Structure formats: structure tokens, C-alpha cells
Amino acid sequence: MAKRPTVYDVAARAGVSIATVSFTFSQPHKVRPATREAVEEAARALGYLPSASARGLASGKTGAIGLFSFAYYARERGLQPDSQTPFGDEANEDFRMFPLYHDEVQRGVQVECWRRGYVLMVGDAKGAAGEADLAGIAGRVDGLAVFPNTVPDDVLMRISRRIPVVELSIPINNTGLHGVSVDNEGGMAELTGHLVEVHGLRDIAFVGPKGFPDKEHRFSGYAGAMVAAGLPLRTVDTAPIGHLADFAASTVAEFVAAGKLPQALVCSTDEEALAYMDALAAAGIDVPGQIAVTGFDGLVAGLVNRPSLTTVRQPLVELGRAGASILIDQVAKPGKGAVTRQLPVKLMIRESCGCQAQPGNQVR
Amino acid sequence: MAKRPTVYDVAARAGVSIATVSFTFSQPHKVRPATREAVEEAARALGYLPSASARGLASGKTGAIGLFSFAYYARERGLQPDSQTPFGDEANEDFRMFPLYHDEVQRGVQVECWRRGYVLMVGDAKGAAGEADLAGIAGRVDGLAVFPNTVPDDVLMRISRRIPVVELSIPINNTGLHGVSVDNEGGMAELTGHLVEVHGLRDIAFVGPKGFPDKEHRFSGYAGAMVAAGLPLRTVDTAPIGHLADFAASTVAEFVAAGKLPQALVCSTDEEALAYMDALAAAGIDVPGQIAVTGFDGLVAGLVNRPSLTTVRQPLVELGRAGASILIDQVAKPGKGAVTRQLPVKLMIRESCGCQAQPGNQVR
DNA sequence: GTGCGAAATCTATGCGCTTTAATCGCTGAG
DNA sequence: CTCAGCGATTAAAGCGCATAGATTTCGCAC
């Protein structure tokens, strides 16, 4: 590559000063049409491309929104950048790998950035999300969106002192960060209610990890509905996502061995639900015939699955858009407090709960 | 937001020079452990975040790969940033809108960037992809990936004089740009052969637009297979993607009116195929009973559709990865000529051609 | 205690652009 | 014919960091 031409080269060729070149691009109306054209002509002839780095340095703005995204997916599964793990086409069932939760949210962020004239910077930690990784992206954006549990809180707080930070899909909290969330509790309560009231189930177990605020809220929704119906709670531990399949298989085996198969498995995520459905199928147990299984998220994979997965659909794209929107607003006019929004969810009744698939429910 | 602390602030607090601060982050091993810790402590206390802009300016590298992505989707459909068009959750069948072709390719680019330690900059034109839009992203990356027909050739050529540019999924050509493509011709020939040999169809029409190199190659594949079988060619024009539904409906109406319904519609993309299947269903024509329909791409939407869509699956994620890989290689060691790669495709026999759905073919 | 090479640190400069303040050139009023 | 007034243009000062080259400090042998 030839040396990139700079404002100096353009200025020299056009016979003006670099300031005029700069104005030509940033404040065209302040430049006489004749000189403007001369500058543009020179720029074109030279193949001039303004350096965003220099621009950002001088102006203090980057015009970019950052998203710490893929790391979310990878870290949860223990994937390494140098691994040979298939990330798409190679996998036989890659609609189980893509698009997942964060892919849809990312799309939302991307759409909103597009609409507001920002570019999206997608950064990812190479190992545990340390500060060094984040610096690479936090240092070059005007605002940062992150998924919960991907970045240590103290690092996040530090960053938020410099640029607005929004947590995507985290319950309202007291961290002082901006945040967008969904009605986890209400959605799960409604879903549980469906199993109790429509299907008359009583022995309903909740499957989900501890320690994740959003999952805890889903549990609350489940618990509330069960208690309200006078039914006993029952919980099943879950493994890290990377080991869902093995864990689900052994759990199912235990159920069978103990002869204590619940009537329904209310999972905290679609991914868990699908893993359990696989395990149940492998064990020769019919879903929804012998046991109902439900998820939470509304991924494509649940729609493609047979039986299709009854679940609670989160407005994932909207979630991303709302997050990006908050950031961009904050960049334009920094507010004092944390901005938070909660979005509604939608119950998607499909086959895995025992209902017949409805055309209207085929959609996600 | 408080003024962001700089190397100077950190240096002052740690009692060292800014060079040492810089080294501490870039060449830690060249700094004595004691001073390194002092610097890190100061940085932590101050909430220091290195400015990527300044870094990029000084070093001449940005560590970012750019992708001109969403614009591709939007422009083809005539969507505007300020429009109220639903971009996801709102749509009843958004698996028809996401993930599409470019979404999967983008994922590939993103994965490869992650593995190679780059960040991804997703930029989008706000209107026609003019130079101004591109400058915003081309100026801040070390390499740029674009979809065909999204950026005027001359602009692309200009940019490619400064940074490596790769065209995603464009047949090998003479533009001198790097490129990745798939075996469009071979895949379509194989698919057409399937319809002829397995299903014994003779009146097979090709549906696809003119003027797009990759689509032309698909046509060649279709034509080659037909000629080889001694069958006549038949083509159907298509409308811009944004008007696919209306156009497909009127075309189907013409077929019916003229009583000349082909035995099969070989479409150049899955999106076209789905539009025609919708139109055929609306006209009360059974697929694949009365007419077979096939696509090309291997989108999720085709898998979810009933009947599921027989198609040719492109390795989209791999396509994106290959593109990013070429760019990153070129950044590291600029080569002289254009690098090109062609990837294989895979025939996915599903229901819309008249075959029974096979478990193995359910996958995409 | 000295001397020396290596390691650590610092000084100084420039990356390409934005932006403020100052200068220039022109117009029209006096 | 002069000069205030105004728009167009420019000079100059950074923005925050990397890095070559200069300088200081360190570790160690004598």
C-alpha cells in the first residue's frame, strides 16, 4: 500500500491550507464553492481518506458505539480464539448455534447505530475479559454496551466514569450503569400459569442456574405462580452452558432411575430446554407426551425443533436497539442518573407444552 | 463524564515519564516489575483508558477490520435509517428477515476477527453508499470487507490503494480486489440435475435477476445441466428484492392465466423461492405436488418453511471468515496480487422438490 | 570502590486532524 | 479615495500516544 495521503497532500495539491481542507469536509458551507471544488478534486485525485484516528484524537469523539459481544458466547462455552471449534457451517445443526440470544441483540444494536449515524465496533475479549481487552474497544468508542457477566464489575465502573455504559438485559440494579431488561418474572409467571391452568400439571420443576439476576427473576416468576396455585416448588440444577448436553443426560438418567420424572421442566433458557429435550428423546421419553418442556428467549432453534418449543419470547432486537439508543442519547447529552428501561415479553405457545402448534404461534 | 485521564496524568501520579507508561502497556517485559506496578496502580486509581484514536494515529494501525454490512440489506430493500420499518421482533415472521445471507457472513467475519485479535467495525451507508459514508469507516480500519454492488467500483478501487479490500461472495474477476466466492455454477448444476434425474422433471424454469455475476453463474449451472439433459431453457424475470412478493404473485397469476405452469421453479436465491412459494400457496397451487420450487443460499427461513426448502447451502460463515482472514493476512504482509478463494457448496435435499424430508437434510 | 555493558527510563518528535484566533481581500459607505 | 465591516482563509496550537535515540541506572566482575 502506498503511503496514505493526508490533508497536507490535499492542501498542497489544491493550493490551500490544511484548515481549508478540513473545513471542506466538516463545514462545507463555510468554504467558497470554487475552493471547495478544488479541494474535492484534489482529494479525489489523490485517493484521500480522512484518518478517523486523527479525527477522533482532535475532536474527542469517535462516532462509534462499542459492543462487547461474541466473547459472551465464547466465554460461556469455554471456547478459545485458537480452538478448532466449529462456529457455523461445519456444525450439523448450526441453527442451534446461530442465531442465539446475543446475535439477535447485536442485530438490534447494529440497526440502531445505523439509524443514528454511528458505526458499531464489535470487540471481544480473547480470554477472560480483562481490562486490556476492553481497553482496545472502550478506548475507541463514545459509548459501550455489554452483556452481563462478561466484564468484571469494577472494570465496568471504571469505564463508566469516562463513557456511558449500558448493560443489556440485566435487571434494574444499583450499579449506576444504564440498563435495559425485560419482564423476566412476569413472563415466566405467565408461562407457568399456562402449564398449571391449561394443562393441569402439578409437578413442575424449574431448571436454571443460580447467581444470574435475570435467571433469578425467572425463578421468582415460576415460584410465584406455583405458590399462587398451591403447588410445591421443585428445582433442578444446571451446568455451565458448555456442558449442558452431558449434564442434561445425566439428570434425566437420575430422574428415570429414581422414578421421579416431573410432569414438566420449566427451563430458564431455550438452550437448556433444547438440551433437555435431546436428553429426554435419547432416553426414549416423549415430549410432550410424558413430560412437558418449556424455554425462555424465543430463539430460532426452538421454532425449528420438533416438537417446537413453547417459550417466552424476548424482544431481543428491540433490546439491542433500546440499549444503543440510550448510549447515543447519553453521548449527545450526558444525563446525571442511570437510565433504565424494561421491555415486555410474549408467551409463545407451541408444541412442547402439549398444545397443538398454531399457525399464529409458529412465529417467534 | 469527567475529563478522561491521559498518559500524562498516569505518568505524573506514578512518578515516571509518559514513555514508561506507554511501555508498561505495550511492552510490559521491558519495564521493571516495581515500576510496572506503580504505573498500573496509578492507571487503576485514575480510571485510565488508553485512547485508541491516539494510539492509531501514532502507530499507523487501528487493529480493526471494517465491514460494510447492514447497508447491503437495507439498500436492496429501499429501507431508510429514519423509516419505521420493523427490523426484527415486530415482524410476525422475522426468521424470514433474520438471519439472512449477510448476517451469517458477518458472523464469519466477526469470528475470524475475534480469533485473530482484531475488532470488527460494522459501518453502514445512510443513503446510497457514497464516499462520505465509506470514509467514516474506511478511514478507521486496517482492512475492509464489502458485499458486491454496495459500493461504487471507483470508490472501492480508490480505497484499495490504501488498505486491502475484499469482496465477499463475488466471482473471481478482474477488479484487482481480493475476493471470496463459492461454486455457484457447480451447485446449481447439481441441483438442476437432481430435479431432472431424480424427479424426472422436464419443464424447469430459472428465476433470477440479470446483471449480478453470482446469479449469472447460477444460471450457467442451470443452463448447463438442462442442455446436457437435452431440455429447453426457460427463464422468469424477477423484481428487486423489495418487491419480491408482489412480483411473484403477478407472475404466478400469469402462469395460471396462460395455463403454462412450469414443473419446477429453480430460483437464484432462497428469498425468491420463499416469495414464490407464498405466491403459489396463495393461488392454491401445491408445492411440491403441482410444482417444485428450489432456492440457493441455505437460509434458516428455508428450513423453517413448510414445505422445507430444497436448496444449495453456501458456507456463509466460512465465507466471512475467509474474507477476514485474507484481509488480516494482507495487513500483516501486503502481497502484490489479488487473493481469491472459491469455497464449495452443498446440496440440501428437503421437501420442496418433492423429496421426503430426511433427518439428515433437516439441517442447513 | 571502580568500571563497564546491559537494562531501564526519559527526552523529544511527529502521527493527521480539528479548532480558535488572527489575517487577508473584498465591498460599499462616507 | 479611505476605511470599517464582513466573509474567506490561514497560522498555530494542541489532541494522546508510540517510538527512536539519548541518558541514566542497575548488576556484576574486578
Residue B59, in any domain of the structure = no
Instruction: For residue B116, list chain A residues with Cβ-Cβ distance below 8 A.
Output: 81
Q: B174 and B192, same structural domain?
A: no
Residue A49 and residue B116: Cβ atoms within 8 Å?
A: no
Q: Which three cell numbers stand for residue A327?
A: 448510549
Q: Which helix (H) or strand (E) element contains residue B201?
A: none
Q: B310 and B169, same structural domain?
A: no
Residue A59, in any domain of the structure = no
Q: A189 and A297, same structural domain?
A: yes
Q: Which residue of chain A is at minimal alpha-carbon distance from B361?
A: A92
Instruction: For residue B137, list chain A residues with Cβ-Cβ distance below 8 A.
Output: 52, 119
Examine the pLDDT at A145 and tell me if it is beyond 50.
yes
Average pLDDT over residues A283-305: 94
**pLDDT for B364:** 37
B12 contacts B18 by C-beta, under 8 angstroms: no
What range defines the domain where residue B323 resides? 64-182+315-343
Q: Considering chain A, what percentage of its residues have pLDDT values greater than 90?
A: 58
Examine the pLDDT at A49 and tell me if it is beyond 80.
yes
Residue A56, in any domain of the structure = no
Q: A99 and A162, same structural domain?
A: yes
Average pLDDT over residues A287-294: 97
**Angstrom distance (rounded) from CA B51 to CA A291:** 55
Examine the pLDDT at A92 and tell me if it is beyond 80.
no
Q: Is the peptide bond before A288 cis (omega within 30 degrees of 0)?
A: yes
- Taking the CA of residue A50 and the C1' sugar atom of nucleotide C10, their distance in angstroms comes to 33
Does A57 reach chain B within 8 Å, measured CB to CB? yes
Helix ranges (DSSP H) in chain B: 7-14, 18-26, 33-46, 52-59, 70-76, 101-116, 131-138, 153-160, 184-197, 213-228, 244-258, 270-282, 300-304, 316-332, 359-362
- In chain B, which among 87-106 make CB contacts under 8 A with chain A? 87-90, 92-95, 98-99, 103-104
Residues 24-63 of A with CB under 7 A from strand C: 25-26, 48-51, 54-55, 57-59
A216 contacts A149 by C-beta, under 8 angstroms: no
Weakest-pLDDT range from B30-44, B78-92, B121-135 = B78-92
Specify the amino acid at residue A29.
H
| CATH of residue A13 | 1.10.260.40
- In chain A, which among 218-277 make CB contacts under 8 A with chain B? none
- The DSSP code sequence of B142-170 is SEEEE-TTSS-HHHHHHHHTTS-EEEET-
Q: A299 and A248, same structural domain?
A: yes
Q: B219 and B123, same structural domain?
A: no
Q: How many CA atoms lie within 13 A of B147 on its CB side?
A: 24
Facing residues of A144 across strands? A66, A165
Examine the pLDDT at B83 and tell me if it is beyond 80.
no
Nucleotide lying nearest to B31, CA to C1' measure: C8
Q: How far, rounded to the nearest angstrom, does the alpha carbon of residue B291 sit from its chain's CA centroid?
A: 30
Alpha carbon of A361: minimum distance to chain B alpha carbons (Å)? 9
- Taking the CA of residue A118 and the C1' sugar atom of nucleotide D8, their distance in angstroms comes to 32
Q: What digits encode the pLDDT tens for the residues B86-123?
A: 555 554 456 777 888 888 999 899 989 988 888 999 98
| CATH of residue A134 | 3.40.50.2300
Angle between helix A7-14 and A18-26 (nearest 10): 100
Residue B334, in any domain of the structure = yes
Residue B284, in any domain of the structure = yes
* Cα end-to-end distance, chain B, whole Å: 48
Residue B101 Cβ under 7 A from any strand C atom: no
Angle at B198 between CA B194 and CA B204, to 5 degrees: 60
Q: B329 and B256, same structural domain?
A: no
Q: B118 and B106, same structural domain?
A: yes
Its sign, for the CA torsion A11, A14, A16, A22, is negative
Examine the pLDDT at A144 and tell me if it is beyond 80.
yes
Q: Please state the length of chain B.
A: 364
Does A114 reach chain B within 8 Å, measured CB to CB? yes
C-alpha dist (Å) from residue B260 to B234, B282, B311: 11, 17, 24
Facing residues of B265 across strands? B205, B293
Instruction: For residue A92, list chain B residues with Cβ-Cβ distance below 8 A.
Output: 363
Does A45 reach chain B within 8 Å, measured CB to CB? no
**pLDDT for A91:** 45
Q: A277 and A154, same structural domain?
A: no
Q: Please state the length of chain A.
A: 364
**Angstrom distance (rounded) from CA B319 to CA B109:** 8
Average pLDDT over residues B239-268: 90
Specify the amino acid at residue A162.
R
Residue A53 and residue B54: Cβ atoms within 8 Å?
A: yes
- Taking the CA of residue A10 and the C1' sugar atom of nucleotide D10, their distance in angstroms comes to 15
Average pLDDT over residues B331-341: 89
Q: Considering chain A, what percentage of its residues have pLDDT values greater than 70?
A: 85
Alpha carbon of A313: minimum distance to chain B alpha carbons (Å)? 9
Q: B306 and B326, same structural domain?
A: no
Residue A323, in any domain of the structure = yes
Q: What digits encode the pLDDT tens for the residues B185-204?
A: 999 999 999 999 999 999 99
Residue B1, in any domain of the structure = no
Q: A189 and A134, same structural domain?
A: no
Bases of chain D below 7 A from a protein C-beta are 8-12, 14-21
Domain count, chain B: 3
Residue B322, in any domain of the structure = yes
B87 contacts A175 by C-beta, under 8 angstroms: no
Q: A211 and A138, same structural domain?
A: no
Facing residues of A311 across strands? A348
